[in-house]
Structure 1
Amino acid sequence: MNSRTKLLTLVAAGLAVVIAAAVALTITLNQPKEAPRPDPVAATVPVALSADGLPDSVSIGIVLTFGQSGEPGSEYNRAAQGAVVAAQRFTQSGTAVTLPTQNDRGTEEGAREAVSSLAGQGVSGLVVATTGVQAQAAAKAAEEIGLPVILPYAEPAEPADPARSTWTTKPAGAASALQTALAGKERVLFINDGGSLPPSVEVAQTLTLGEFEDLQALAQEAAVRTGDQLIPPAADAGAEPVRVADPADAAVVSAATPQRLAQLVQALQARGVTVPLVLPDGATTPAFASALAELDGTASGQLVSIASDGGDSTALQQDAQGRGMSAFLSALRLAAGEPDTKNLTGDAPFAADAWAADPASHDAVVALVRAVALAGSAEPAQVGTALRAVSFGPGEGSAGSTLDFSGPAALTAPAVPVFASIQDLGLRPADALAPRLVWVPAPASP
């Protein structure tokens, strides 16, 4: 090969390298950027829970308000069965977690007696799974004897004090979430049967059950105010029925108990009210779901309530919180499949309440057990001190949002609007007797 041929060969080879590099660079620059990937779907939260430093057994007391006829505070009895799931998860790892349970009888005196009884049984902490004056009385009684308390569904009566040993995991910001649910609504109708409404929420008109002959008369008038029914003409006028001017575009519905709330909702639906029905309190309880189903009411996206963003639908998320909820639901299905696993009062199989057991009661027990492990002691005062240093999320066994007990309000996620749906997510054991109502943090599909 002569020198001219060698030169041409070298030039051609160089050009080939340059062209190849240019092509590679062009492909790289024009290649679509890879979409951010979610956390790996594989479960990283085990069903069985353990913690270094736990003794062979731990006792966490539960305070309930017994009753099945709408007694105030009893609406969370079935939701509180999530505590059983937490106990089962630790038991699977070799630590027996017992849950002695006492009835507060729906009174302040009964609450104090329940706390005294549980303290005498040597519990390390309490989960007060009720509401109202009895929940606050139980928390105060426990505070006086140094027994740490978690309130999943209520708030303490006294102002928050970081040095106290009472915490609430009830979501904060309910008034703000209610305003979000009513965003864009200009003519809000408030329908009330002994409930309440935050003063920050503006309403255009109010209907109170006490002003009407019965529930049906109230529902009829509400349907007129929303424009879903015509105004009946006066008996001597001879005029045609007309529709009200400027009808309400949403209704806030409130009642003293979830059962009465369900009656209100069903009556409004029976009169054909079609505007969104915003239910600020009581609708997310199992008692409301059961009562609405018994009345043949409709659970649809028309119903809006306020809750934490941590329902069953979270398990469908491909992130840490989704894995935490999936682990909780897996443990729930396992517990429901064991005939020997009983509910908190030991008078029925856990399976009968599996449809209602919630993350809030589960996480309260997990938090107290982890505080026992951190303290290295079952002594209540040490457990309370340790709990102030506890912060845990899905990776440590939380089924709901992250809890931080450095302050009295431990739930880090605020309340959000949630929408009713009858869709069966297939995440809980099949139960033909259970009401079909789930709450999701986005409008339910028709």
Structure 2
Amino acid sequence: MSLLFLGWTSESRALDAVLGADVNPASEFNTNLFMSRNQAVNIGKDVWGEGIDGGLDLVLSDSRWKINANSRFQNRWYQDDNNLDYFNQLFSVKSQYYFSERAILGMDAQYNMDNTLSTENVADLGYVFTRIPRTTRSISPNWSYVLTEKSRLSLAYTYQDTNYDQQRNLNNVVDSAAHIGSLNLSHQWNEKLQLLGSLNYTSYDLFGRDFESSVRAYPFPFLNGFIVTPATVFIPGVTTTIRTASFMAGFSYNPTESVTLAFSGGGQHNQTTSPENREPITSTVFPFLTDTINSRRISSSSFSEILTASARKKFERSDIGFNYSLSLSPNLQGLLTSYERYNFTGNYKFTPQLSSSLNISLSDQTGSAQASREIFSVRPGINWQWDQNWVLNASYQYTRIDFAASGNLSASSPDSHALYLNIRYLFDKHQF
């Protein structure tokens, strides 16, 4: 998979450096009804896409520290519909410094230019009809300490902000900034059982979009009527803050070498606030006409259960897995949403070159009337590497979405059918 691989060692300073790179051309045929900017869900367009993926990886290390620097890119060009084109770029650095045999200090940073449709699974963060470019930046100092031979403590802080291309934003997706703090504790009870515990605090700032209009209806003092006149109407977006504090406790258990069971449960306190806002408006034609747009202060709090559970089983030529989770977090539109997810995965290897996969997921999202929906998705696939360099990957995805209506799932549910075909060429590795 690597186009270039370099390695050298400086004996005088005990410095190890490894440089690697890979370039993978790809081709794709897509019939997904929801990928076009056209929001008419019954109108789809079959498109061929061509692209190139690749990256550069650098590892530097000595006896006390280690740095991993990576850059990845993923680009696609679709025939007859450039609204689907995307150019994803990712740059990340992870560093570790070993103070002693027990203490490790780390610093992670990431700069990611991607878009909603290429990286979001509809069962994860909400449903979007359009491809919206965005930029995400994050930095995360972290520290871990070995308390005993069987116990480890980890502390981490993360700052992350996300900004969307507002010219392409037709779905009211909001920019955001988050401060995240976490404490994790693990204890190896015996060879088969590990106990886990965590505390987490997150503060989300969700920046509402500005609104601007040139027409305004004013109350008319006579006959209980209204007068419509040109006006300067600019309403800055309101910043909503969502703070969550959670705790979880659980375990990971391996009854045999081929079976893994895990469970964690706890609670989360949620608080949402938005400030009161008053915006004066004056008519540009009749200056004596004035009005005020008020947005009232919102403050609410709640407590919710959070759960995660998983099971894995490995066989001689296959493996299966099941995951369940119950969580609460803001979706792409900035609305606090509850997610209950079920996911089943399976893989089977027919020969060393030919394998198949299956992914089935069900997500129940509960929030406001606009955010509540149930999403079901099935994606079987096949992977064939007929020689050392050529790889063929084909998959089909069916997605059904039921939107909430008056507290019940509506009868109408738009379906999505997508066929993915990727042909990749993997360059030989070279060492110098």
Q: Which range, TM-score by smaller chain?
A: under 0.3
TM-score calculated relative to the size of structure 1:
0.22
Higher strand share: 2
Higher helix share: 1
TM-score calculated relative to the size of structure 2:
0.22
For the pair shown, which has the larger CA radius of gyration, 1 or 2?
1
